[in-house]
Structure 1
Amino acid sequence: MLSISITKKPILSQEQLFMLSVLTVNGGNYLYNLLLGRILGPEQFSDAAILITMLLVLSFVAMTFQLAAAKFTVTLPDTVFGAFVKKIYKNAVVVGIFFGAMVVVFAKDLQEIFHTSSSTMFTIFGIGVPLYFLMSVNRGFFQGKKQFKLLSITYQAEMFTRLGLTLILVLLFHSQSSVVIAVGVLVSLIVGLFPLNFNKSQFTSKEVLPKKDLSLVKKFFVITAFYELSQIIINNSDILLVKHYFDAYNAGLYASLALIGRIVYFVAWMFVMLLLPTVVQLKKEGKDTTKVLMKYVSYIAVIASAIVLACAMFPTFIVQILFGGDYLHIAPLLWKYAFATGVFAVANIFAYYFLSLDKYVPVLVSAVFGALQVLLVVFYHTSLAQVVHVQMFAMVFLLFTQVIFFFIDTKKVSMNGKK
């Protein structure tokens, strides 16, 4: 007798499931912000926006550990991988405790700088900082191994916990909104740690990372940290500076503008998560990587263009639906902010692509334009419109510079290949 076994292919690949998961997580995070904006109003939302911005800043810092874990999961041999795991977790804990302690110690100073109603929210937030670093390393190993199902679970667990718990607490303790939002963030970071990528033998192993591999890890780590710093500056400095220079009402308006305009960046992030391990693997196999880059650049360009067009055609409708009538003053600026963010998202793909290939000039370029953006906002902030206009200027020139470098590098690689 003949026995025929049919193996059914899954309807969706792990990558497709992850993309769907990222859209769900971003949608949940978006809903979280929108509901807070509607419930709290512009002035109280400006306090919430500071915590949300600090969480984004933290995510960029911790992303250094996540990207390092993802990259060296692919490139390091199994014989030394245990030593790497132990070292990166140890460093993540040390750095997390340092940054968390800084936030706690300077909580009152942060309250004065950003004109918030409470310093307690910074203290609670600081306690959760080390957890974020551990969570990011854990996610990095899932990302490098392309275990996108497990990676999706950690993101969804964090998002749904923060969304559900925060909304319940805000509705129960509306007058203490900034504190309860911080509590929601803290609890969500604890939940986001699971599932843990924990192997006891790797932590008890006496293996030492060889000097050659350690040198590669340190180099990548320093360069990535430098790039993530530029990301922090470009992505979040405007909200922090507006909170410093403007009153609570205008700061709340700007926070809502930033949230709507940044949707393209949040969508683009899932492509970055897929890009890095794919490019590293293709490079390891000696295959062409430019097709992968072009695929993701085209995806983001199309998405960004659609969002900018929608913001230009229906600004009042979008603001009214998402935040309500109290925020309509920012409607004319909506497409402009979305344009600046969309251009930055495309430029960001080029930077992460070259970072995956151990080419670091685009990292320096991003840092330069990040500093330029800060200086422009510091000197030109007579209105919210002016703040948006200077960012449009900086981001267009950033993308132009990254594209020029791509063509120069591609030509150089092509010429070397013909020799």
Structure 2
Amino acid sequence: MLTSQFSIRNINFKSEQVFMLSALLVNGGNYLYNLILGRMLGPTQFADAAILITLLMVLSFMAMTFQLTVAKFTAGSVDEDQTVFVNFLKKISLFIGVILGIVIALFAENLQILLQTSSKAMFYFFAAGIPLYFLMSVNRGYYQGNKNFFKLSVTYQGEMLSRLGITIILLWTLNTDSSLLIAIGILASFIFGLLPYKKTTSTSIKKSVLDNKNTKSVLLFISITAFYEFTQIIINNSDIILVKHYFEAYEAGLYASLALIGRMVYFVAWMFVMILLPTVVKMKKNGENTLPVFFKYLSLISLLAGSIVVATYFIPEFIIQLMFGKAYLAMAPLLWKYALATSLFAISNVFVYYFLSLEKYIPVIASGVFGIAQVSLIIFFHKSLEQVVEIQIIAMVLLLVIQLILFFYQQNKNVELK
């Protein structure tokens, strides 16, 4: 396993610090990608691009099931056991990825009609990349579980930089359907994101299998995590898809810009959660108290979330014009509200991932309930974009209250047992 720190000109950096810096660069690069597309395409064409970006986010949530599972079951394990888990998850992820890709390809025309996109070909390219993305996530889970944040950072940087560079080159050099070119750029980035790839091909490894007990544990965790990632898909992406369905392309494009700016807090929180999970799992195995590290990351994320909400409240016009340009300024009054909804969701996520690390699953079910509630409310109440945003604030406030109640209940229960 790689050492936990390295030195540049006598300055020592922990691998966690390197990953945090890398995650900031990745998030910055992804935002630059979105901003460039928004400025190059304009609100109407950007609505189609936003659908591809949203589908990519949906895919990332689905793939996170495999990444978190590998991270959990490799953290603190010996090399041979790690390899068995990785092989097992590779087979499952590739099988599910191929099936899902075929389904999307078969229903590409239906998706074009449902989401009112200009092309169905973009769905074919996106479908082709799904197995690669799932395999990439298993690879990342291995590095995350081993806290090898150097190589984990490289995979994220490779995906982001290649998608940014290839997409811009294609849009500048080829005069064809922009959504198709964006889909090709996304597919190409999955290939670069596979590097560095953890190979497990020795004869002894091929013959190794999980025992029944471990297989059940892995499948249970996959099921629970998949359910939670599904709730994240609903909460974090359903609004853009529903707005694209219910509103005109121009309004949908404006809303997409709002969502991409407002979700900044979620992407920042994500890098902390990536470090939190393997840390808590390892501390639990060692019998250590996990609450201090939980409160540390909860405080950091809450502080960042609050700062972003304050900024979007006082200077929304400046932020929108800086990022997307004057064409999107109509969304300025809603920016702080959307940022607030996303902040509440990001803070709730810290509780859920903490409990997932401890194999406590009730908070996951709570997220699922409120995810479905949010979709239902938007379906019934979508007279304006403002109403869509305010519904999300209400749902996320209630979700955070429930997570707090569950947390304090669990702590009181632990005290009584002691």
TM-score bracket for this pair, using the shorter chain length: over 0.9
2:182 paired residue number: 181
| TM-score, structure 2 as length reference | 0.96
1:231 paired residue number: 232
Cα distance in 2, alignment partners of residues 80 and 327 from structure 1: 52
Q: Secondary structure at the match of 2:210?
A: coil
Deviation track 1:124-173 (CA, whole Å, cap 9, x = no partner) reads: 11111110000000000000001100000000000000001101111223
| TM-score, structure 1 as length reference | 0.96
Cα distance in 1, alignment partners of residues 389 and 80 from structure 2: 51
Cα distance in 1, alignment partners of residues 15 and 209 from structure 2: 33
Q: CA deviation at 1:401?
A: 0.5
Q: CA deviation at 1:175?
A: 4.1
After TM superposition, the structure 1 = structure 2 runs for residues 30-49 of structure 1, keeping only pairs within 5 Å, are 30-49=31-50
**Structure 1 letter corresponding to 2:341:** A
2:168 paired residue number: 167
Q: CA deviation at 1:201?
A: 1.7
2:208 paired residue number: 207
Deviates more, 1:194-203 or 1:154-163: 194-203
Q: CA deviation at 1:208?
A: 2.0
Matched, 1:406 2:407: yes
After TM superposition, the structure 1 = structure 2 runs for residues 79-118 of structure 1, keeping only pairs within 5 Å, are 79-118=80-119
1:272 paired residue number: 273
Q: CA deviation at 1:205?
A: 2.7
Q: CA deviation at 1:286?
A: 0.6
Q: CA deviation at 1:102?
A: 1.1
2:195 paired residue number: 194
1:289 paired residue number: 290
Cα distance in 1, alignment partners of residues 414 and 8 from structure 2: 42
Deviation track 1:321-342 (CA, whole Å, cap 9, x = no partner) reads: 1111111110000000000000
After TM superposition, the structure 1 = structure 2 runs for residues 382-401 of structure 1, keeping only pairs within 5 Å, are 382-401=383-402
2:344 paired residue number: 343
**Structure 1 letter corresponding to 2:346:** A
Deviates more, 1:200-209 or 1:125-134: 200-209
Deviation track 1:175-209 (CA, whole Å, cap 9, x = no partner) reads: 41100000000100011101001122278531221
1:220 paired residue number: 221
2:3 paired residue number: none
**Contact 1:85 1:203 survives alignment (8 Å):** no
Change (3 A) 1:162 1:60: same
Cα distance in 1, alignment partners of residues 103 and 386 from structure 2: 34
Change (3 A) 1:193 1:7: closer
Q: CA deviation at 1:11?
A: 2.3
**Structure 2 letter corresponding to 1:105:** L
**Structure 1 letter corresponding to 2:196:** P
Cα distance in 2, alignment partners of residues 327 and 380 from structure 1: 23
Cα distance in 2, alignment partners of residues 406 and 416 from structure 1: 15
Change (3 A) 1:261 1:233: same
Q: List runs of 5+ in structure 1 lacking aligned partners.
A: 1-5
Cα distance in 2, alignment partners of residues 62 and 402 from structure 1: 24
Q: List runs of 5+ in structure 2 lacking aligned partners.
A: 1-6
**Contact 2:23 2:271 survives alignment (8 Å):** yes
Deviates more, 1:279-288 or 1:199-208: 199-208
Deviation track 1:315-370 (CA, whole Å, cap 9, x = no partner) reads: 11111111111111100000000000001000001000000100000000000000
Identity %: 56
1:3 paired residue number: none
- The runs of 4+ residues in structure 1 deviating greater than 4 Å are 6-10, 75-79
Change (3 A) 1:327 1:77: same
Change (3 A) 1:203 1:276: farther
Q: CA deviation at 1:8?
A: 8.8
**Contact 1:82 1:203 survives alignment (8 Å):** no
**Structure 2 letter corresponding to 1:238:** D
**Contact 1:83 1:206 survives alignment (8 Å):** no
**Contact 1:80 1:208 survives alignment (8 Å):** no
1:250 paired residue number: 251
